[in-house]
Structure 1
Amino acid sequence: MAVAMTMAAMKMAVLRNSMNSQKAGLVVAGAVLGLILAGGTIAVAFVGDPNVGSVTGWHTGDMLAAAYAVWMLGWIFGPVFIGGGDETLRPEYFTLVGLRPRRLAFGLLTASFIGVAPVVSLVALAALVVFGVRLGSAASVLIALPAMLLSLVVFVLLSRVATAVMGLALRSRVGAIAAGLSNGVILAALGQGWVFFVAFQQVGGIPPTASAILRYLPSGWGLLAVEAAAEGAWPRSAAALGAMCLLIVLLLGAWAALLTRRTSAARPSVRGRRPMTAASAQGAVVAKEMRTWTRDLVRNHQLTFALAYAVFFTSCMLFMGMNGLLPYTGAVFILMAGAMSANLYGTDGTVLWLTLMTPGASEVRGRQWAWLLTVGPVGLALTVAGAAITGGPWPLPLALTAALLGGGAGIVPLISVYALVPGIDPHRRGGNPLRSSEDDGSLTGLAYAVIGLGGLTGVPAGLVASSYGWPGVAVGIATGALCVWGLGALAESRLRSHGPELLQTMRTGKRAQSASARWKKFDDLPKRDQIIAIVGWSFGAIPLFPQGIVAGVMKANGTREKSWFLALHVPDPWAWPVVVFMVLLGITLYGGALWVSYRPRPREEALPAAAA
C-alpha cells in the first residue's frame, strides 16, 4: 500500500508541476465534455420503464447497459486517439527499483485514478444509484455503491490491459494491422451510434438478445447486481459483484505479466533489407517515405485504422436499409489518413538532420508524393467501389476525393512544420509504440485541425458537383493540384527557413525562442483568446461535419430519416439555409481558433520581447 500511495503522490506532483495554460485548457475542455456525457448517462436513468422483467418499450436497464458498454469501449479504445493513454508514470521508470510485477501493477493502478477521466466516469456510474432508487428498493441502492466502484476499477484495468496488449501487437505487422482493424471498426461504431439507436427505435426498443448480451459484458455486471438485489435474488447479486472482483484480480495479474514483457528488452530484427536506390535527392525522399509507410508498424496501424474506420462508418447506415454514404468512403478514408499522419515530421523525430545536411533535397515534395502514392489509390478505389455498389452518384464523390486528396497532401506537411509537436524517435518509443509524443493534447488538436482544414478544401468542388455535376470533378482536380503545389511550397519555405529551429524543437522538446519571434505561444495568449481557441478547436467539428456537410449530403440524397440532424427537421424552404449556416458556423469556429492562436504579434508587444 505504501508503494501505491507513493506512486499516487508522484503522479499528483508531476501533474501539478507540468500544468500550463494549454494543458489546463485541454483538461477543462475534456472535463466539461465528459461531464456533459456523464450527465446524459444519468439522465438515461430517469427515463424509460425501470421495472425488472419489462419487455415492452424502452427499458431503463437496457439503455443503461448500452450506455455503460459505450463507456467501457471508450476506456478500451480511447488510447488510440490520445497517443497510448495516460502515462504520466511509465513502467520503465521503475525498472531498476526492483518491484515485483504485481506491486508495480497495483501501484500504477492506484495512480491511474488520479485524473479527470476516472472522476467523470464515476459520475456517469452514479446512474446506478438513480436506477436503484427508481426500482424502489433500498437493497438495490446499497448494492449500487460497491457496483459503482468495482465498475470503475474494471474500466481502468481494461484500459491498461488493452493498451499493453496493443503495444505488444504493434511489435509485429500482423498485430498492428489487426489492432488497426478492430480499433477502426469499434470507434466508427461509437461515432455512428445514432444509427443503432434509430434501428432499435424502429423495433420499439432494444431486442431481448441484444439486452442479454449487453448485461453479460463486464460493463453490465454492476447493473445485473442492482437488478438482482431489487428482485431479492441475493445469490445472483453477490455472484455479479464476485465476478467483478475476480475479473479485477485476473486483469491485475494479466497487466503485471504484460508489464514484465514491456520492460524487457525488445529483440532486434536481423532480417536482411533490400538496398534502396534513387536517381535524385527527391527520389531518395520518396523511396525512404514509401519504405517507412510499409515498415513502420505505427504507420501500418494508422493506415489500417483509417481504412477500417471509413468502411465501417459509411456502411453503418446499411443497418437502416440506406446506402447513401458508401460512395463517400474514400473521402472519409482520406480525411482520417490525414488526421492520423498530422504530425508527420514530429513522428519521425530527429532524422530531419539528414535532410538539412543534404543540399537540394526537396523533403516536402518527396513526402507529398509518398503520401499521395500511399493514400491515393486506396481512397480512389473505395470511392469507385462505393459508387458502383450504389449505382451513383458519381460526380460528387469523385470531386470530393480529388479535392481532399490534394488538400491532405498539402495540409499534412504544412501543419506539421508550422505546429510541430516534438515526438519520440522511433527507436526510443519503448514498450508503448502508440506513445509517439509527450503532448497528447496537441496531437489531438492537430488531428482535428487536419480534418477541419482538409474538409474545407473539398467545399468548392462539392458545391460545383452538387449543382452542375461533372464539372465539379474538374474543380476538385484543380483545387487539389493547387493545394499540393501552393501549400507544399509554403511548407518547403518554412522548412528551409526554420529547419534548424524545428530540429532543435524535436531534440529538446522545447520551441526555440528568438528576439524577432512574431507568433504567440498558447500560454502567452490572453485568457479570452485561450477560451476562443479551446472552444473553436473542440466544437467546430460538430456544426461543420454532422450538422452541416453530412446533413447536406443526406438532404441532397433525399434521405427520409431525420435523426438528430437539425436541417432535416425544419420546413423544406429553410433546410438548405440551415445547412449553409451550420457549415459557416463550423468554419467560423475553426477560423476564430486559428486566428487567435497564430495571428502575428502587434509591434508594441514584440519590442519588449526583443529588449529582453
Structure 2
Amino acid sequence: MALALTYGTSHTLVRMRLASLRHALKDSFRLTWIVTGGLVGLVLAGGTIWVAAKGDHDVLVVVLGVWMLGWVVGPLFAGGGDETLKPEYFTMLPLPPRTLSTGLLVAALAGVAPIISLIALLSLVISGGTVAAALVAVPALLLQLFCFILASRLAVAVYGVLLQVRAGAVIAALVNAFILAFTAQGWALIVAFVSTDVQGTMAKAARIAPSGWGFDAVQAAGRGDWLQVIGLLLALAVLAGAMLFAWSALLVRRTTASHANSKPRRLLTAKTPGGAAAAKEIRSWTRDLLYGHKAIFAIAYGLFFCMMPLAIGLKSMLPWAGPAAVVMAGSMSSNLYGADGTAFWTTLMTPGSARPDVRARQRAFLLVFGPSTLMITLLLTWWSGYHSAWPLVLSALPALLGGAAGLIVACSVYSAVPTTDAHKRSGNPLNSGENEGETMGLVYVMLVLVATTCAPALLVALNAGWWGVPVGLLSGVLCWWYFGRVAARRLDKRGPELLTLLRHGRSPAEQAKKTAGFDALPKWRRTLAGFCLGFGAIPLFPQAVVPAIFKLTGNHDTKSWFLALYQTGPWQWVVIVLMAALGLSMYAFGGLTYYRAKKRAPGGSVAAVAS
C-alpha cells in the first residue's frame, strides 16, 4: 500500500515537473538561460569525462568533489534552487512525509541539471578500466547522483532554518559572502594552497568525502576488492537514506511550523512623517531577517573579496573593502519597494507620503552602511600601508554611498519586481517568487550602475590627488538628491500602478506585451544579448578594474590570471583599456538589445512596460 502510494505520488509529481518545464521553455528569456546553462554544463561534463579518459584519478576525484559542492552551494545563489513544486502546495493532501519527500526527490530528477550531472558521472564508468568495474560504476553513479540532489535539497532546507533566526541569518550571510567572494578572488587561496605542495592532500580529502565514495568503489572493483565495493555502495545508500530522512523532517517543520507574533519591543514615537518613515525603515533593517542577511552579506563580501589576496601577501586590495561593500549593498537593495509587496498600500494611502518615504529609505541605507564602510575603509587602508590609496578611496566612498542611496530608490520605483509578501514567505526564505531571474538581472545591472557613480571622483583623484574628495562628496550628494527626487515624483504619479503590480504581478497579456519585442528578435541575437549581460563583468572587473587598481596602488608583483599584468610598459594600460571597452561594449549591446526590444513592443514605451 505504502509502495503504491509512493509510486503514484512520484509519477504525478514527475508529470507536474515536466509540464512546468515545458511551460518554461515557452518563455524566451528563461529558455535562453536554460540553454546557456545547459551548454556550459555540457562543456564541464565533457571536461570531467576527458579527465577520466586521461586516467588522472587524483584530478578526477577532486572534480567530482567540485560537482557535489556546486550542487550544495549553487541553489543558495539561485533563490533556493528550482522549487517549481513547493512542499507547501501539498500540505492539505494526506501524504506521509517520506512519501512526499521521495516524490519531490524523484521529480527533481526531471530537469536539465540532473541530466548533465549524470553525464559527468559517466566518468566513473570510463575510469573503471575493467568490465567488472564498469558494471559497479552503474549503481555507484546512480547513488552518487541521488546523494548530489539530496545534499542540495538538505542544504537549502538547513539554510532556510538558519534564516529564520537572527544568529543563523548572520552565519548564513557569512558563508554566502565567502563562497561568492571565492568565485572571484579564490585564485589567491588556490595559489597559496598549491604553492605549499599539498595537491595530494586535496585528493585524499576528496576521496574521503562522500563525493569520492562512488569512485573508490569503482577502483576497488578494478582491484577485485569486493568487500570494499559492497561497503562503499552500502555507505552511499545509507547516506542517501539519512539525508532523505533529515530532509523529510525539515519538510514537516517547514509545512507545519507556526510563528507566533511577538509584541514590539518599542513603539514608534516619531512626531513627523519623515521621522515615522525613517523609524520604520531602520526597524526593517534591524528586525527583518532577510534585510539583516543582505546587510551582513554585503559587508562580509567586501571584506572577503579584498582580504583573500592576503593569502599570497597582497595588501593592495585592502583599501577597497569599504567601496566594494557599498557596491554590493546597493545591488542587493535594488528592489526595496518590490520587497514591500502589498504593504506598500499603507504608504500609498497616506497623502503626501511619497517624498518622506523615499528620503527615509535613503537615510536608513546611509545609516546602515555609511559608518561601517567608512570604518572598514579607514582601518584597512591604514593597515595596508599604501598611502597613495588614501585620496582614491576617500574620494570613491562618499560618491558610491550617495550614488547607491539614490539609485536604489529610483531603481526600486521604476523597475520594481513583484516578490512574495513577507507574511506569505514559504519555509524557504531564499525563494522570493516566480520572478527570481528578473530580480537577479536587476542586481547585475545595479552592480555596474553603482560602481560607475564614483568615476568622476576617481578621475579627479588620479589627476589632482585630494581634490577628488570634495568632488566625491558633491557627486554623492547630487546623486542622493536627484535620484530621490525622481523616485518621489514617480511614486506620486504612478503609485497605484506600482501597487497593482506588487499585488497581482503582471497579467499574461502584460507579460506577453513585455516580451513581444524581445521574442521577435532572431534567436542568435537574444542568446548573444543574454551572454553579454551574464559575462560582461569578466573583462570589465577582473581584467580591467582590478589590474588598474594594482597599478595605481603600486603593486607590481602579482600577475595571477590578469592578462594586462603580463604585458610590459604602456601595453599594460592598453590591455586594461581594451578589456574595459570590451566589458562595457558587452553590457551596452545586451542593454540596448533589451531596450530596443521593449520599444518595439505593443504599447511602445519603456516607461509603460516598467510600470
* TM-score, with length taken from structure 1: 0.90
Q: 2:188 is paired with a residue of what secondary structure? A: helix
Aligned mates of 2:17, 2:541 — CA distance in 1? 37
Q: 1:572 is paired with a residue of what secondary structure? A: coil
Change (3 A) 1:271 1:576: same
Aligned residue pairs total 593
Per the TM alignment, residue 137 of structure 1 is displaced from its structure 2 partner at its CA by 4.0
Per the TM alignment, residue 139 of structure 1 is displaced from its structure 2 partner at its CA by 4.0
Per the TM alignment, residue 521 of structure 1 is displaced from its structure 2 partner at its CA by 6.1
Match of 1:56 in 2: none
Aligned mates of 2:378, 2:576 — CA distance in 1? 27
Aligned mates of 1:40, 1:475 — CA distance in 2? 50
Q: 2:326 is paired with a residue of what secondary structure? A: helix
> Could you report, residue by residue, the CA deviation over 1:512-533 in whole angstroms, capped at 9, with x for unpaired residues?
989xx99876655523653343
2:203 corresponds to which of 211, 218, 233: 211
Match of 1:57 in 2: none
Which one is further off, 413-422 or 500-509? 413-422
AA partner of residue 291 (structure 2): R
Match of 1:430 in 2: 426
Change (3 A) 1:330 1:232: farther
1:375 corresponds to which of 369, 379, 392: 369
Per the TM alignment, residue 601 of structure 1 is displaced from its structure 2 partner at its CA by 6.2
Are the counterparts in 1 of residues 516 and 601 from structure 2 also a CA contact under 8 Å? no
1:360 aligns to 2:352 (yes or no): yes
Q: 1:587 is paired with a residue of what secondary structure? A: helix
Change (3 A) 1:219 1:324: farther
Unaligned runs of 5+ residues in structure 2 are 1-6
1:389 aligns to 2:386 (yes or no): no
- The within-5 A match list for 1:301-312 is 301-312=293-304
Per the TM alignment, residue 45 of structure 1 is displaced from its structure 2 partner at its CA by 4.0
Aligned mates of 2:487, 2:272 — CA distance in 1? 20
Match of 1:171 in 2: 164
Match of 1:503 in 2: 499
1:596 aligns to 2:593 (yes or no): yes
Per the TM alignment, residue 21 of structure 1 is displaced from its structure 2 partner at its CA by 1.6
> Could you report, residue by residue, the CA deviation over 1:313-355 in whole angstroms, capped at 9, with x for unpaired residues?
2222222222222221112212222222222111111111122
Change (3 A) 1:252 1:157: same
Which one is further off, 444-453 or 598-607? 598-607
Are the counterparts in 2 of residues 150 and 245 from structure 1 also a CA contact under 8 Å? yes
Q: 2:430 is paired with a residue of what secondary structure? A: coil
Aligned mates of 1:469, 1:214 — CA distance in 2? 50
Per the TM alignment, residue 399 of structure 1 is displaced from its structure 2 partner at its CA by 2.5
Change (3 A) 1:265 1:109: same
Q: 1:382 is paired with a residue of what secondary structure? A: helix
Are the counterparts in 2 of residues 520 and 598 from structure 1 also a CA contact under 8 Å? no
- The within-5 A match list for 1:280-295 is 280-295=272-287
Unaligned runs of 5+ residues in structure 1 are 51-59
Q: 2:259 is paired with a residue of what secondary structure? A: coil
1:77 corresponds to which of 73, 78, 81: 73
Match of 1:29 in 2: 36
> Could you report, residue by residue, the CA deviation over 1:491-521 in whole angstroms, capped at 9, with x for unpaired residues?
223222221111111111116989xx99876
**Identity over aligned pairs, percent:** 45
1:299 aligns to 2:278 (yes or no): no
Which one is further off, 554-563 or 420-429? 554-563
Per the TM alignment, residue 146 of structure 1 is displaced from its structure 2 partner at its CA by 3.0
Aligned mates of 1:466, 1:574 — CA distance in 2? 19
Match of 1:323 in 2: 315
Aligned mates of 2:600, 2:249 — CA distance in 1? 58
Match of 1:149 in 2: 142
Per the TM alignment, residue 90 of structure 1 is displaced from its structure 2 partner at its CA by 0.7
Aligned mates of 1:36, 1:462 — CA distance in 2? 40
Alignment RMSD, CA only? 2.8
Match of 1:53 in 2: none
Which one is further off, 161-170 or 588-597? 588-597
Change (3 A) 1:3 1:20: same
1:575 corresponds to which of 572, 575, 589: 572
1:313 aligns to 2:323 (yes or no): no
Aligned mates of 2:397, 2:61 — CA distance in 1? 39
Per the TM alignment, residue 110 of structure 1 is displaced from its structure 2 partner at its CA by 0.8
Match of 1:279 in 2: 271
AA partner of residue 256 (structure 1): S
Per the TM alignment, residue 411 of structure 1 is displaced from its structure 2 partner at its CA by 2.0
> Could you report, residue by residue, the CA deviation over 1:544-565 in whole angstroms, capped at 9, with x for unpaired residues?
1111111222333324232222
Match of 1:461 in 2: 457
> Could you report, residue by residue, the CA deviation over 1:243-299 in whole angstroms, capped at 9, with x for unpaired residues?
111110000001111110011041213244311122332222221111000000111
Q: 1:526 is paired with a residue of what secondary structure? A: coil
Are the counterparts in 2 of residues 281 and 360 from structure 1 also a CA contact under 8 Å? no
Change (3 A) 1:97 1:459: same
Match of 1:197 in 2: 190
AA partner of residue 578 (structure 1): V
1:585 aligns to 2:554 (yes or no): no
Are the counterparts in 1 of residues 162 and 172 from structure 2 also a CA contact under 8 Å? yes
Aligned mates of 1:389, 1:46 — CA distance in 2? 49
* TM-score, with length taken from structure 2: 0.90
Change (3 A) 1:233 1:486: farther
Match of 2:244 in 1: 252
Match of 2:23 in 1: 17
Q: 2:402 is paired with a residue of what secondary structure? A: helix
Match of 2:4 in 1: none
Per the TM alignment, residue 2 of structure 1 is displaced from its structure 2 partner at its CA by 2.0
Per the TM alignment, residue 115 of structure 1 is displaced from its structure 2 partner at its CA by 1.9
Aligned mates of 1:451, 1:607 — CA distance in 2? 28
Which one is further off, 296-305 or 522-531? 522-531
Per the TM alignment, residue 138 of structure 1 is displaced from its structure 2 partner at its CA by 4.1
Aligned mates of 1:394, 1:24 — CA distance in 2? 47
Per the TM alignment, residue 364 of structure 1 is displaced from its structure 2 partner at its CA by 1.9
- The within-5 A match list for 1:453-602 is 453-510=449-506, 523=518, 526-527=521-522, 530-556=526-552, 557-599=554-596
Per the TM alignment, residue 467 of structure 1 is displaced from its structure 2 partner at its CA by 4.2
> Could you report, residue by residue, the CA deviation over 1:456-502 in whole angstroms, capped at 9, with x for unpaired residues?
22333334334443233333223222222222223223222221111
Are the counterparts in 1 of residues 598 and 604 from structure 2 also a CA contact under 8 Å? no
Aligned mates of 2:425, 2:39 — CA distance in 1? 32
Are the counterparts in 2 of residues 504 and 512 from structure 1 also a CA contact under 8 Å? no
Aligned mates of 1:23, 1:603 — CA distance in 2? 20
Aligned mates of 1:447, 1:604 — CA distance in 2? 24
Are the counterparts in 2 of residues 82 and 443 from structure 1 also a CA contact under 8 Å? no
AA partner of residue 180 (structure 1): A
Q: 1:298 is paired with a residue of what secondary structure? A: helix
AA partner of residue 63 (structure 1): V
Aligned mates of 1:462, 1:180 — CA distance in 2? 30
Aligned mates of 1:415, 1:38 — CA distance in 2? 38
Which one is further off, 341-350 or 481-490? 481-490
Are the counterparts in 1 of residues 515 and 601 from structure 2 also a CA contact under 8 Å? no
Change (3 A) 1:89 1:234: same
Change (3 A) 1:131 1:378: farther
Q: 1:469 is paired with a residue of what secondary structure? A: helix
Change (3 A) 1:182 1:501: same
Aligned mates of 1:429, 1:602 — CA distance in 2? 34
Per the TM alignment, residue 311 of structure 1 is displaced from its structure 2 partner at its CA by 2.0
Are the counterparts in 1 of residues 518 and 598 from structure 2 also a CA contact under 8 Å? no
Are the counterparts in 1 of residues 517 and 600 from structure 2 also a CA contact under 8 Å? no
Which one is further off, 210-219 or 574-583? 210-219
